[in-house]
Amino acid sequence: MQQQITPNSAVRLAVAGCGHWGKNLVRNFDSLGALHGLCDVDANRLASLGQAYPTARRYSRYEELLADPELQAVVIATPAEHHMKMAIAALEADKDVFVEKPLALTAADGRQMTEAARRTGRLLMVGHLLLYHPAVRAIQRIVDSGELGRLEYIYSNRLSMGKIRQEENALWSFAPHDVSVILMLTGGAMPVQATATGGAYLQPNIADVTLSTLLFDRGARAHIFVSWLHPYKEQRLVVIGSRRMLVFEDSRATDKLLVYDKEITWKDGAFEAAQPKATPVAIEADEPLRAECAHFIECVATRRPPMTPGEDGVRVLEILEACQRSLQMNGEPVQVATASRILTL
């Protein structure tokens, strides 16, 4: 996806939830000429942002925002437990909606949100930020070209000594990014089974570390390792194909994306593997969040469906729920119950 990024004064939107991540959305939507309003329950935060963005209207109550007839869209960056009610209220107020990940806390809630979008004819987009990263867009092109061959194994590590949450575990905080990328690489194919193990060391029943494994039809597998109790930061995606291999390491300063040869031969009754040769892949310099925000603005202006619609958010939630159930059962395999399978039961 080559994203055209230009300011757009025709689209008028407001950001609801201007905290740790919301302020980044505010900055980007303002630079793109679409920021019309700010909404936050913290009066001091709202006043401070109001000084930084003096042309934006301030709403201390969400109901005031929804009642503004000049607003075309709402960006929701509040804690996930509020996403469903806030998104449905905005859709029913005839606003397009961008919701940060995860779309909701349950797949059932996510389905209510997508149904509300269909019923009202409004757009619902989920903030799966990594899909707007130029390196991930390059990976998609490489996979789609067939250069790697048949996908065999994908693994993703998202590790740091990071912000420790109390309202959600590391799986729900970190893994939505990786699940969304894995679904993109598999062409949207859902796994048939999930297993997950982990440990809660700082707070009871809130896992700080989890390892999830997804089994796809025809034997392809993926694993997702996430932790906020790690001595160094690592964001690494490895894709193993039948012909070649690929590594994306976002924490590297240079050569973030490398394609490796895969030369394995059978000789004298044994396998011989040559040392893989790495070829760097040039990637664009786009800021992923700015590209994501620009895409939402374009969708609102043109009425084209977003690249990450609400339905994608539901599929991610279905996988996270299966992983969470397995985690609670100490790694017992769990079938991934997608909406299509549920309807046929």
pLDDT tens digits for range 160-194: 997 888 888 999 999 999 999 999 999 989 999 99
CATH code reported for the domain at 13-128+288-308: 3.40.50.720
Number of neighbours of residue 3 by Cβ within 10 angstroms: 17
List the CATH code of the domain at 131-285+319-335.
Answer: 3.30.360.10
Mean pLDDT of all residues in 131-139: 96
pLDDT at 339: 45
Res 67 pLDDT > 70: yes
Cβ-Cβ contacts under 8 Å for 132 (sequence gap 6 or more): 1, 3, 286, 288, 289, 291, 292, 295, 307
Q: Is the dihedral of CA 251, 255, 259, 264 positive or negative?
A: negative
| pLDDT at position 345 | 32
Distant-in-sequence, close-in-space partners of 206: CB < 8 Å, separation ≥ 6: 165, 166, 168, 169, 200
Alpha helices in 146-287 (DSSP H): 170-185
Mention every residue, 6+ apart, whose C-beta is less than 8 A from residue 95.
Answer: 66, 71, 72, 73, 74, 122
Question: What's the rounded mean pLDDT across residues 218-230?
Answer: 94
> Where do the domains of the chain lie?
13-128+288-308, 131-285+319-335
Q: Which residue has the tokens 């109901």?
A: 63
Domains 13-128+288-308 and 131-285+319-335 share a fold: no
Judge if pTM exceeds 0.95. Answer: no
More confident residue, 342 or 302: 302
Q: What pLDDT score was predicted for residue 163?
A: 82
**Phi, psi dihedrals of residue 30, rounded to the nearest 5°:** -65, -45
Asked if residue 26 lies in contact with residue 49, where contact means CB atoms within 8 angstroms, the answer is yes
Give the residues across from 226 on adjacent strands: 158, 210
